[in-house]
Amino acid sequence: MTEIDVDLTALLPPDLPDGREAVAEGKALARDVERSRSLFCEEKGVSSEREWRERARTEGFACTCMNIGLATWADTREALGLIHEDALSRGVRPPDRFNLIAERRMGLPKDKRAAAAQETGPVMMTEQDWWELAHTVPIQPEAADNTIGGPGSVENAIDALRAGITTIGVLSQYSWRWPYFDDDVTQTMEVLKAAGLLAAFKDDGVIFDSYLEDGYPGVFHDYANYIGWAILERYISEELIGAAYSPSWGGLTQNPVVKSAVTLALEAVNPDRVPLSYVQGDTIGNTPDFDANMAVLNTDVLFMKMVDRRYRLGTAPIAVPVTETERIPSWDEVATVQTISRRLEDYAPMVDPVVNWGRIEAMRDELVRGGRAFFEAAIAGLSSAGIDVRDPAQLLLVVKRLGSARCEELFGAGTPNPEYPRGRRPVLETDLVRSTMQERERLLAELRGRSEEEAIRGMKVLVTSTDVHEFAEFLLSSTLSAVGAEVIDFGVNRDPEDIVKAVIETDADAVVISTHNGVARSFGQRLMGELDSAGAGGVAVFMGGVLNEDVDGSEIPVDVSADLNANGISTPGTIDRLVDALGERRGGGVAA
Given the rule CB under 6 A, which residues bind ligand B12?
101, 103-104, 120-121, 145-146, 176, 213-214, 218-219, 251-252, 283-284, 286, 324-325, 327-328, 436, 439, 467-472, 475-476, 512, 514, 516-518, 542-546, 548, 557, 572, 575, 578
Task: Please state the closest distance from residue 500 (CB atom) to ligand B12, in A.
Answer: 17
Which residue, 26 or 285, has its beta carbon nearer to ligand B12?
A: 285
- Distance (Å, rounded) from C-alpha 209 to C-alpha 65? 14
Who contacts 123 (Cβ-Cβ below 8 Å, separation ≥6)? 72, 73, 102, 103, 105, 106, 113
Minimum CB distance to ligand B12 smaller for 359 or for 442: 442
Q: Nearest approach, Cβ of 148 to ligand B12 (angstroms)?
A: 13
H or E stretch at 309: helix 293-310
The CB-of-389 to ligand B12 minimum distance in angstroms stands at: 26
Among residues 308, 375, 302, the alpha carbon closest in space to that of 340 is found at 302
Q: Using the minimum distance from each CB to ligand B12, give the nearer residue, 227 or 578.
A: 578
384, HSE (Cβ side, Cα atoms, 13 Å): 12
- Strand ordering across the sheet containing 140-143: 65-68, 97-100, 140-143, 167-169, 207-211, 244-248
Q: Which CB, 396 or 564, lies closer to ligand B12? A: 564
- The smaller minimum CB distance to ligand B12, of residues 277 and 514, is found at 514
Q: What is the DSSP letter of 241?
A: I
The nearest distance, CB 201 to ligand B12, in angstroms, is 24
Min. distance of Cβ 58 from ligand B12 in angstroms? Answer: 32
Strands in 460-465's sheet, in edge-to-edge order, are 486-489, 460-465, 510-515, 540-545
Which residue type occupies 568? Answer: G
Inter-residue contact 85 to 565 (CB < 8 Å): no
Q: Would you say 380 or 551 has its CB closer to ligand B12?
A: 551
The smaller minimum CB distance to ligand B12, of residues 206 and 564, is found at 564
Q: Are strands 415-416 and 244-248 parallel, antiparallel or unpaired?
A: unpaired
CB of 427 to ligand B12, least distance (A): 21
Q: CB nearer to ligand B12: give 394 or 430.
A: 430
Name the phi and psi angles at 194, rounded to 5: -60, -40
User: In the complex, which residue's CB is closest to ligand B12?
Assistant: 544
User: Do 249 and 280 meet the contact criterion of CB atoms below 8 Å apart?
Assistant: yes
Contact 411, 374 (CB under 8 A): yes
User: What is the spatial distance between Cα 242 and Cα 200, in angstroms, rounded to a whole number?
Assistant: 8
Residues in CB range of 185: below 8 A, 6 or more apart: 13, 16, 17, 397
Tell me how far, at minimum, the Cβ of 440 lies from ligand B12, in Å. 9
Q: How far is the CB of 302 from ligand B12 (least distance, A)?
A: 20
Backbone angles phi, psi at 559, to 5 degrees: -65, 135
Residue 387 Cβ, how far from ligand B12 at the closest point, in Å? Answer: 25
**Are 192 and 395 within 8 A, CB to CB?**
no
Output 333 or 388, the one with its CB closest to ligand B12: 333
